[in-house]
């Protein structure tokens, strides 16, 4: 009997909304794997007052349900009024996370740390752009005595894999953050160039706690509202196992073309001023100037790979008419 996956869902269902908000696309890095739409500066930032108006719309859309707002870019920290914006978002009851390349000065990061606004901080170390992973460690350690979850994501291209592994080893030894070498998605087939040993290490290096984790101040967020990307994969024989998006991506088990997906039921992606169900941009798009709401229905997946951890946790069901033949 042929056994195959028929459903992918969150391992632990959580009752919160999650909004990823790309506030602009100005960036001080030029990563080869990053599309121009994320770094060419064509989407300039709005005024603080305009962002506050949008925040009010998002709060209304979430209603009484706890919610996260995750700030991305471009490089979001380049926005001059970012800290006042985060303060306004926090005043509305949001839990806040941010994805940053961590390149701003320690002086700037100290100002953010002293604001006590961050709940989760994702620091993406780009080995293609800089060798200074010591700076990432210094930024991470600014939050060591705060209840801010710090996750260091390490990217790589073919000729920077050694630097990526060096960065990982250093961050594990010198921080209390959680560190992972990312699965690199997109058109570049860099994995075909790696040795068997390199591929094996890449697949195993997921969410490793830094040696300072035991002394790192823990998050105060109720566990049921924490960002949790653990997945439950159910097979046609009704057996299941748990995994997480990075592992599935590295195993190339993130292909759901033709599956039914409820993306948008608890997630929302704002691309400057356009609203999508998720980062994958599947389904209809809307304007942030209109009424904002989450959409609770399934749509068929039309892309080859699911490449975002947040999109991966949307429930995906393989229709029976698409079951592989025995």
pLDDT tens, residue by residue, 102-145: 999 999 999 999 999 999 999 999 999 999 999 999 999 999 99
Specify if 218 maps to a domain. yes
**Is the distance from CB of 145 to CB of 217 less than 8 angstroms?**
yes
pLDDT at 233 over 70: yes
**Of 190, 225, 260, which marks where a domain is finished?**
225
117 and 209 share one domain? yes
Alpha-carbon distance of 85 to 26, in angstroms, equals 17
Q: Is residue 196 one of the residues assigned to a domain?
A: yes
Q: Has residue 172 been placed in a domain? A: yes
Nearest to 232 by CA among 290, 314, 122: 314
**Band of pLDDT at residue 326, cut at 50, 70 and 90:** low
Long-range contacts at 108-111 (CB < 8 A, ≥ 24 apart): 108/77, 109/139, 109/142, 110/142, 111/83
**Domain boundary residue, one of 171, 195, 225:** 225
Query: Residues 267, 199: one domain?
Result: no
Q: Record the pTM.
A: 0.94
Task: Report how far residue 56's alpha carbon sits from residue 89's, in angstroms, rounded to the nearest whole number.
Answer: 9
Which pLDDT score is estimated for 189? 65
What is the C-alpha to C-alpha distance for residues 94 and 196, in angstroms, rounded to an integer?
Answer: 44
Predicted confidence (pLDDT) at residue 14 exceeds the cutoff of 80: no
Residue 201 and residue 219 in one domain: yes
- Report the distance separating Cα 3 and Cα 235, nearest Å: 7
Q: Are 128 and 102 in contact (CB under 8 A)?
A: no
Query: Stretch 181-208: mean pLDDT, rounded?
Result: 83
In 101-211, at which residue ranges do the beta strands (DSSP E only) sit?
120-126, 149-155, 178-181, 208-209
Tell me what the mean pLDDT of segment 81-88 comes to.
98
Of 70, 63, 25, 33, the closest CA to residue 278 belongs to 70
**Is there a domain that residue 11 lies in?**
no
pLDDT averaged over every residue in the chain? 93
Whether residue 26 lies inside any domain: the answer is no
Angle between helix 161-174 and helix 133-142 axes, rounded to 10 deg: 30
Rounded average pLDDT over 81-85: 98
CB-based contacts of 303, cutoff 8 Å, min separation 6:
257, 280, 282
Q: What is the pLDDT of residues 199-214, one digit of tens each?
A: 899 888 889 999 999 9
Domain, as residue range, for 140: 32-225
Give the pLDDT mean for 35-49.
92
Answer yes or no: do 131 and 117 share one domain: yes
Q: Using 50, 70 and 90 to split pLDDT, how confident is the model at 32?
A: confident
DSSP string, 257-301: TT-EE-TTSSEEEEETTEEESSTT--S--EETTS------S-EE-
* 205 and 66, same domain (yes or no): yes
């Amino acid at each position: 009997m042929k056994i195959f996956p028929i459903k992918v869902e969150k391992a632990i269902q959580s009752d919160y909304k999650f909004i990823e908000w790309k506030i602009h696309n100005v960036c001080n890095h030029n990563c080869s794997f990053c599309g121009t739409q994320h770094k060419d500066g064509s989407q300039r930032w709005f005024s603080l007052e305009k962002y506050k108006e949008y925040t009010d719309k998002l709060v209304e859309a979430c209603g009484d349900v706890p919610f996260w707002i995750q700030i991305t870019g471009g490089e979001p920290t380049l926005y001059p009024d970012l800290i006042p914006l985060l303060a306004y978002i926090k005043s509305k009851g949001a839990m806040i996370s941010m994805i940053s390349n961590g390149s701003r000065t320690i002086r700037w990061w100290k100002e953010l740390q002293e604001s006590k606004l961050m709940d989760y901080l994702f620091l993406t170390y780009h080995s293609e752009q800089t060798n200074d992973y010591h700076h990432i460690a210094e930024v991470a350690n600014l939050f060591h005595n705060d209840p801010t979850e710090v996750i260091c994501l390490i990217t790589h291209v073919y000729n920077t894999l050694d630097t990526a592994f060096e960065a990982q080893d250093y961050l594990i030894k010198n921080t209390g953050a959680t560190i992972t070498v990312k699965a690199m998605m997109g058109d570049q087939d860099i994995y075909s160039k790696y040795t068997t040993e390199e591929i094996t290490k890449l697949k195993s290096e997921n969410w490793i706690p830094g040696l300072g984790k035991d002394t790192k101040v823990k998050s105060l967020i109720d566990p049921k509202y924490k960002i949790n990307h653990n997945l439950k994969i159910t097979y046609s024989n009704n057996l299941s196992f748990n995994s997480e998006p990075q592992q599935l991506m590295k195993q190339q088990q993130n292909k759901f073309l033709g599956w039914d997906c409820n993306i948008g039921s608890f997630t929302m992606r704002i691309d400057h001023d356009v609203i999508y169900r998720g980062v994958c941009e599947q389904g209809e798009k809307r304007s942030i100037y209109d009424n904002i709401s989450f959409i609770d229905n399934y749509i068929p997946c039309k892309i080859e790979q699911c490449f975002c951890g947040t999109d991966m946790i949307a429930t995906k069901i393989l229709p029976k008419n698409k079951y592989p033949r025995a």
